[in-house]
Structure 1
Amino acid sequence: MSARPAVQALPAYRPGRNPADLARELGVDRAVKLASNEVPFPPLPAVVQALSATAGETYRYPDNGATVLTAALAERYGVAPEQVVPGCGAVMLCQQLAQSFNDPGTGLVFAWRSFEMYPLLAQVAGARPVPVPLAPSRPGGAPDTHDLDALAVAVDDTTRLVFVCNPNNPTGTAVRRAELERFLDRVPETALVVLDEAYREFVTDPGVPDGLELMRGRPNVAVLRTFSKAWGLAGLRVGYLVAEDPAVADAVRRTHVPFSVSSLAQAAAVAALASEDEVRRRVAAVVAERDRLTAALRGRGLEVPDSQANFVWLPLGEPTAEVAAALEARGVITRPFAGEGIRVTVGTPEEDDLFLTALGDVRTGAPVA
């Protein structure tokens, strides 16, 4: 038996490497992982308590609709429960969106480089991927931000889905309110625009809009968010979609894998929402460290765009793979995009200092210790 040609052609998704494996390989006590955009904090105390309290129920199937979480999110954002769809991470919801709205041959438009799953989702759905190159955020700089005018031009009468990753992964840049509103006004009602806001909690630029505000009154706009980043639930896999049009949410709900949000994930997400003050403190610490790391890299003469996420982007071009491999040889795992750049998650100050030291050694050609 052979799989569909589109599936056979899919490249494998590359998760961040396990630091314990690298440490054993190098024969060192510890390696640092700055590759997967996780927050450098242990689970929230309320989350640990919720998991402990729910563990005794795991012999039962979970609530298929994640009803408690749906209600909590609806109340939080002032929408009806019918507009909310929890899922097994935001990436699963991306797949459900493609399955729900893209017939074979229809267009799926996205910026590139952006979240690496977008073109893969198009392939799986049999859709036509339409990547639109990023533009420089500063004169003479490397491409690093959405070109919304070009993105709007790429939308045609075959387009069914448009992803706008804001802030953008892996560059960390974000588009601002006026230009995003103009873009949304240009997109025809036959195309669904999904504002992928996985890193929304880390945004500090007041000019970067909350997608949920722009969604109001636009039935062809939906917003994706996740508990994997700021809320610290990456290992439990829970994200959510909020759609202005309940019919959009209903379509996505119809393509979900039954019971894909586990009892533990729902309980943890609800507990996390109730711990927002602590989450805000943690986010503030990440943002402060992001600013310190950015300043340190710029102080070394490196180009670093303004990041609104919990990572920074180094547009290194051709040396990217070589630099990333040299950093790994020094026990620091980053996320390279060959020929383009390296994405570096904001870690603890100690982890970031280890990265800065390793990067300095790589740039000066110092031997591996």
Structure 2
Amino acid sequence: MADAAGRMNRYPDMAAVDLRERIAAHLAVTTEEVAVGPGSVGVLQQIITGLCDAGDEVVFAWRSFEAYPILVELAGARPVRVPLDAAEGHDLDAMAAAVTERTRVILLCTPNNPTGVPISHRRLEAFLQSVRSDILVVIDEAYVEYADAGSGPDSLALYRRYPNVCLRTFSKAYGLAGLRVGYAIATPAIAEGLRRTALPFAVSALAQKAAVASLDAEEEMAARVAAVRQERARMAAELAAQGWKLQPSQGNFLWIRADEDLRARLVDAFDAAGILVRAYQGDGVRITVADSASNNRVLRLLAANAA
């Protein structure tokens, strides 16, 4: 990154060839199947704006990634929110029932943000079999590196059988959130369309170089993820002992479902302690798993505010 910063007077490679080749080698796909953008949000915007006209519909679970309805409305389409099931995961039967003749895209976030609940391979494959072939199903795996093996789908295997899209990012486990670089694995025709509709030069030269270097530092990333998983398990066990009811999370965060009174009380307590959490009005609080000392502060605060 320091070396690349010395050449910031040059435009980045608009086609991001080096990065696409490195991603393709990493996931055993072809370069023609890779499209990149400014974070997974940027790639999502390319997908939605490229496929949706005014009045078209995009189906997604709710609560899920909060950018979904924003991106859908920016494209002039209609967001169709399908409530999560009792286990804080995707209600795939209800999502299938929400599909209409105007549905163009279905967004599936696994592990789900903010609840951390993944979609199993078996359930997702059954869902894909039930969806019309003209609907693009996007498997958004922004947090997949934190998931335990076998907890979620083998999205690349499903991609080989169905014309869907696997969407990932370097923002989370790779630690490059400030550089904005994400990617999609899609059929060559879809990936070509995404590249053609992308904002020119949207992924900076610095981001491209950093993403390649990050893929080359896989052992470092794996060690960082292992530490997060260990702390996640420790925090979940202690919070369960305190009486908090949590669903097992496969992200780098824990989700506390809370009514508005409890949510407001927790937010006030966290604010007073100088701890930043993500609160969702009417739904709950998402707490990022951090270093051990920071997590201990969170655990002490929640012990003092246990229902």
TM-score, L = length of structure 2: 0.97
The CA distance in 1 between the partners of 2:246 and 2:108, in whole Å, is: 21
Aligned to 1:67: 17
Aligned to 1:154: 98
Aligned pair partner of 1:279 in 216, 221, 230: 221
Deviations 1:229-249 (A, max 9, x none): 001111111110110x21111
1:39-118 matches, within 5 Å, as 51-118=1-68
Aligned to 2:145: 201
Aligned to 2:89: 145
Q: Assess if the C-alpha contact under 8 Å between 2:59 and 2:105 holds in 1.
A: yes
Q: What amino acid is aligned across from residue 13 of structure 2 in structure 1?
A: D
SS in 2 for 1:152: helix
Aligned to 1:164: 108
Q: CA RMSD in A?
A: 1.2
Aligned to 2:199: 257
Aligned to 1:346: 289
How far is 1:217 from its partner? Answer: 2.4
How far is 1:255 from its partner? Answer: 2.1
1:222-233 matches, within 5 Å, as 222-233=165-176
Aligned pair partner of 1:127 in 77, 88, 98: 77
Larger radius of gyration: 1
Number of residue pairs matched by the alignment: 306
Q: What amino acid is aligned across from residue 238 of structure 1 in structure 2?
A: V
Q: What amino acid is aligned across from residue 224 of structure 1 in structure 2?
A: L
SS in 2 for 1:155: coil
Deviations 1:55-95 (A, max 9, x none): 11100111001110000111111212111011110011111
Q: What amino acid is aligned across from residue 157 of structure 2 in structure 1?
A: E
How far is 1:205 from its partner? Answer: 4.6
Residue 210 (1) aligns with residue 158 (2): no
Aligned to 1:323: 266
Aligned to 2:135: 191
C-alpha change, 1:105 and 1:335, in structure 2 (3 Å) is same
SS in 2 for 1:105: coil
C-alpha change, 1:252 and 1:321, in structure 2 (3 Å) is farther
Q: What amino acid is aligned across from residue 134 of structure 2 in structure 1?
A: T
1:232-251 matches, within 5 Å, as 232-243=175-186, 245-251=187-193
Structure 2: 5+ residue stretches without partners: none
Residue 303 (1) aligns with residue 245 (2): yes
Q: What amino acid is aligned across from residue 257 of structure 2 in structure 1?
A: P
Instruction: Tell me which stretches of 4 or more aligned residues in structure 1 moved more than 3 Å.
Output: 361-364
How far is 1:251 from its partner? Answer: 1.8
TM-score, L = length of structure 1: 0.81
Give identity over the alignment, percent: 46
SS in 2 for 1:241: strand
The CA distance in 2 between the partners of 1:248 and 1:156, in whole Å, is: 22
Deviations 1:134-172 (A, max 9, x none): 0012xxxxxx11001111111222111110000000000
Deviations 1:200-259 (A, max 9, x none): 10110514222112111212x00110001001111111110110x211112221221111
